[in-house]
Amino acid sequence: MEFIIITGLSGAGKSIAMRNMEDIGYYCVDNIPPMLVPTFYELCEKATDERMKTVAVVTDIRSGDAFADLFGALDKLRGGEKQYKILFLDARDDVLLRRFKETRRKHPLSDVNKGSTEEAVHLERKILIPVKARADYVIDTSLLSPTQLKERISSLFLGNATLGMTVTCLSFGFKYGLPAEADLVFDVRCLPNPFYIPELKHHTGLEACVYDYVMGFDQSKGYAERMLSLVDYSLPLYLQEGKSQLVIAVGCTGGKHRSVTLTRVLYNHLLETGQRAIVHHRDIRKD
């Protein structure tokens, strides 16, 4: 049975994640109190309906003081040799504050912070530090559109999430900020830049003209060779540490040309070596 526990910061996109999990075939339950998670797990195990063999539940700070029972619930699952994965949704404080302001929603902890959304966000982040540390998957949604978040969720969980480690190959632009969830970051701003070639400027690394240009240089080939060698050496070590997801980010200035090209090289290499991998180009659509 696949059992995914979705949690994270209020306003980080848990509702979007849950809806997408439902779209790809998971039986979903929102806002379940942590103390009921083990009981619900056992009910799903005994169910004859095959739809309840791939399950996602959301549990978060809306449970109030009962959220403190989460670790006890997780320990109970582990003690009973029940397999589960935790998906943690995160975002920067300024992004969360903007989202609450735009939607005019009330933060679940605002009442205990005299109505201050900012203080509520800070308190929730502090409470969730140990939860995030135990998460199998962490997605920072600060710079993701709802559509991009859905793409990430679908890529992660359309396959069997219980099988080994999933490597996310992520391209990005440094001018838009580092991806907070990255485990390894490769900076390819040192490679020849198609941006300064008029006929390539408005194309991306997904197109042959840009890909062939970038990879036509010895510097790019040498960089790719060393990058893949380091990744091949590192993956077994991360797997030994029990990682369920590894995020390898490749960045250039704008996230459209060099980073996309080298991310494609990495992704294709991982597939060729039999590794479960997904690819996401975070900033390719940005100006």
Tens of pLDDT, residues 31-41: 999 999 999 99
For the chain, give every domain's residue range. Answer: 2-157, 166-281
Least reliable range by pLDDT among 148-152, 215-219, 262-266 = 148-152
**pLDDT band for position 118 (cuts 50, 70, 90):** very high
Q: How many CB atoms lie within 10 A of CB 188?
A: 24
**pLDDT (tens digit per residue) in 81-107:** 899 999 999 999 999 999 999 988 899
Give the model confidence (pLDDT) of 10-22 as tens digits.
Answer: 999 999 999 999 9
- CATH class, domain 2-157, is alpha beta
Q: What mean pLDDT do residues 50-55 have?
A: 90
Burial of 254 (0-12, 13-18, 19+ CB in 10 A): buried
What are the residues whose beta carbons fall under 8 Å from the beta carbon of 26, sequence distance 6 or more?
A: 2, 4, 54, 55, 56, 157
Q: What is the pLDDT of residue 109?
A: 93
Decide: helix, strand or coil at residue 230: helix
pLDDT at residue 163 greater than cutoff 70: no
164 vs 271: which has the higher pLDDT: 271
The mean pLDDT of 225-247, rounded to a whole number, is 92
